[in-house]
Structure 1
């Protein structure tokens, strides 16, 4: 009996400071578990199938908030990815930030945050199959999925950034992201060519801005958005001829009852080859990607990067789609194109990259079992015409998937 009392006393003493430190602070545990049976079938090669979550959208995390009074609150988020079926990426960081929020002026966040192009102005917000193998980024060839996080790519987040989101006023809202320059701690080589992945040496104040409007006119709902992203090359990159990358985006969503029509267009100028629009996140590409020949990817052919532009080149990407909801079931059809225009090769000034086109169609269904659980599946066809590769190497591909998701 004495041992039990001692144990309870010790436990109470340890719990007391924890309870005191949590007073007034609300901590919410959240997450997602998702698994797909997905197949990437590249013409002329063996189909590659797996039960996993290659887009790395399964995650767990903590959402933190404290009411500071007078309409002010402290906020924070810690989030990590995991892969049911893989088990080796449980420590991969997603969002990690701390900030302040106000009822009148919005929120400001400091740390590793989402790109404005990813969750605010289009991107994942208009793609019903975002976070699945049928996504419109990377493998789909429809939206920029830069490895430095500045695009709409799955698992694309920006390090060492400050982000601001305004409140919604008369349907209008804005968002902005700034990556301060001279972020040397993000570049172990202190100025190497790859410093563009996260600003690196002389990051030169990379930034993004976006604005959108949402309104309801009788039975018609309208959402219109636009955004601009600038990823400045470092001094080391400029010495090799790399230019500052710019992305312009615009789009809209129209809805009438259970029907929704959506579209997005973006124009890329001087795609950065070191983590920028001439690359993809590994999640968007379904794993390792071989730039010279996608069919030789280290993961046996699942790697795809059809949304990438040619190094130092221009290009455009667009997507259009329609959704119709019947009860708990959403029917989805969408398609689009990525065009990488001819460009000079920054590592070979006397050579060039030829024009490359990728076209895509996707059809599928999402069925909600409840507010938190759903089933999804569908088919995607991708036509690749890459004049940089030998005939037959730019093979078309088919993607099939069926999956289950639970949010908690």
Structure 2
């Protein structure tokens, strides 16, 4: 990229920011960048070391606010992800919405799900967006391909989401994804169906709306802080997905319950999820995959359920703040029931490590994760060991 082009882009950004401010609209450039040295070793198969951002934590974008008066604000977010090896993940959150401090926030567009950023999920995993994260990298959280789980950098297209403010400790969030089509397959390559690679996650002909709801309650007693949360997620199978006859796909349902207890510098957190008729949950992060290895026994997509099958996932962790450092220990287990074409298996994991805050915007992190994957049909028992150390900065 030439120096002249870089200068033009920079000048344009500054001009847009100044213009927005002049019209009482506040626009800020936001972003974050991370890189980590990680080593993954799969017992009896392969090992690999990289310097990268394998969970695509890094991103940049624009956040926009406009004061509408009477406690209302218009808001918008444009966020794009990348990693430090030059690869682009594409869009994260892309939405426009309305916020009221006494009611809550309404978003329209592409957003994260309540299972990711509201009730459990990322909010209780201190290693989220690292190689040691629980979602997709240790068998302890659902990481759905359609964004309805807690997968890193995932979001949900074509949604309406409302998140309430907290009322006497209680708050809730609801996400709706339209999925009804009269005759043609919904969103399959064009406005009238068409041909394309999209498998129609929005429901298809005569489909129903996908939905996710979650609620939490916060309660403080002296120096103790308690939080309990729960939620329900439904991903309706589309007509295109039904054509995957070997999987016998049906509507996926996920239930979640969990809680947090904090006392001074100590915290415990955990959650349990039950998955029925998994559709989008058969994914894992590249951090857990060790390159392009596709075999389940070696790739170790531990938080994945078998497509069309049931399963359950639980996670528990503890944190202790010691000065600028946070010491972390966590782990859990996933159980994937067998289907006609996939094996029954479980994965057990534990993770230990620490975060060290150099400032409010910059921190170091590192640790070790051990995962034991057992195929309960053919007695495959293969461990995975991961070490990582990294640095991240928010701007």
Q: Same fold (TM over 0.5)?
A: yes
Q: Classify 1:289/1:147 alpha carbon distance in 2 versus 1 (closer, same or farther; 3 Å).
A: farther
Instruction: Please state how far the C-alpha of 1:192 moved relative to its aligned partner.
Output: 8.7
Q: Is the 8 A contact 2:320 2:327 kept in 1?
A: yes
Instruction: Please state how far the C-alpha of 1:288 moved relative to its aligned partner.
Output: 4.2
Instruction: Please state how far the C-alpha of 1:159 moved relative to its aligned partner.
Output: 0.8
Q: Classify 1:17/1:61 alpha carbon distance in 2 versus 1 (closer, same or farther; 3 Å).
A: closer
The within-5 A match list for 1:361-400 is 361-387=350-376, 395-400=382-387
Q: Is the 8 A contact 2:347 2:372 kept in 1?
A: yes
Listed one character per residue, the Cα deviations across residues 150-184 of structure 1 (whole Å, up to 9, x for unaligned) are 11011111011111100111111000101101475
Match of 2:8 in 1: none
Q: Classify 1:16/1:228 alpha carbon distance in 2 versus 1 (closer, same or farther; 3 Å).
A: closer
Residue 342 of structure 1: which of 338, 342, 350 is its match?
338
SS at match of 1:47: strand
Larger CA Rg, structure 1 vs 2: 1
Match of 2:6 in 1: none
Q: Classify 1:283/1:69 alpha carbon distance in 2 versus 1 (closer, same or farther; 3 Å).
A: farther
Q: Classify 1:191/1:105 alpha carbon distance in 2 versus 1 (closer, same or farther; 3 Å).
A: farther
Residue 221 of structure 2: which of 198, 217, 220 is its match?
217
2:321 matches 1:320: no
Q: Is the 8 A contact 1:249 1:266 kept in 2?
A: yes
SS at match of 2:116: helix
2:103 matches 1:96: no
Q: Is the 8 A contact 1:193 1:236 kept in 2?
A: no
2:174 matches 1:187: no
Match of 2:392 in 1: 405
Q: Classify 1:131/1:139 alpha carbon distance in 2 versus 1 (closer, same or farther; 3 Å).
A: same
Q: Classify 1:285/1:293 alpha carbon distance in 2 versus 1 (closer, same or farther; 3 Å).
A: closer
Unaligned runs of 5+ in 1: 1-10, 296-302, 346-352
How many angstroms apart in 2 are the aligned matches of 1:262 and 1:16? 43
SS at match of 2:96: strand
TM-score (norm 2): 0.88
2:79 matches 1:79: yes
Match of 1:348 in 2: none
How many angstroms apart in 2 are the aligned matches of 1:397 and 1:70? 55
How many angstroms apart in 1 are the aligned matches of 2:227 and 2:101? 23
Instruction: Please state how far the C-alpha of 1:284 moved relative to its aligned partner.
Output: 6.7
Unaligned runs of 5+ in 2: 1-10
Q: Is the 8 A contact 2:270 2:317 kept in 1?
A: yes
The within-5 A match list for 1:4-403 is 19=19, 23-84=23-84, 86-89=85-88, 92-182=90-180, 186-188=187-189, 190=193, 198-199=201-202, 201-202=204-205, 203-238=207-242, 240=245, 241-272=248-279, 276-280=280-284, 285=289, 288=292, 290=294, 292-293=295-296, 295=298, 303-345=299-341, 353-387=342-376, 395-403=382-390
Listed one character per residue, the Cα deviations across residues 28-62 of structure 1 (whole Å, up to 9, x for unaligned) are 11111110001111011331110000000011111
Q: Is the 8 A contact 1:56 1:283 kept in 2?
A: no
How many angstroms apart in 2 are the aligned matches of 1:165 and 1:374? 29
Instruction: Please state how far the C-alpha of 1:115 moved relative to its aligned partner.
Output: 1.1
Q: Classify 1:284/1:55 alpha carbon distance in 2 versus 1 (closer, same or farther; 3 Å).
A: farther
Q: Is the 8 A contact 1:228 1:246 kept in 2?
A: yes
Listed one character per residue, the Cα deviations across residues 289-322 of structure 1 (whole Å, up to 9, x for unaligned) are 51x4453xxxxxxx54111111211110001111
Q: Classify 1:224/1:16 alpha carbon distance in 2 versus 1 (closer, same or farther; 3 Å).
A: closer
Q: Classify 1:165/1:309 alpha carbon distance in 2 versus 1 (closer, same or farther; 3 Å).
A: same
SS at match of 2:107: strand
RMSD after superposition: 2.5
Q: Classify 1:193/1:266 alpha carbon distance in 2 versus 1 (closer, same or farther; 3 Å).
A: farther
How many angstroms apart in 1 are the aligned matches of 2:86 and 2:291? 15
Q: Classify 1:319/1:20 alpha carbon distance in 2 versus 1 (closer, same or farther; 3 Å).
A: closer
How many angstroms apart in 1 are the aligned matches of 2:178 and 2:323? 47
SS at match of 1:343: coil
TM-score (norm 1): 0.85
SS at match of 2:46: coil
Between stretches 20-29 and 127-136, larger displacement belongs to: 20-29
Q: What is the total number of aligned residue pairs between the two structures?
A: 374
Match of 1:3 in 2: none
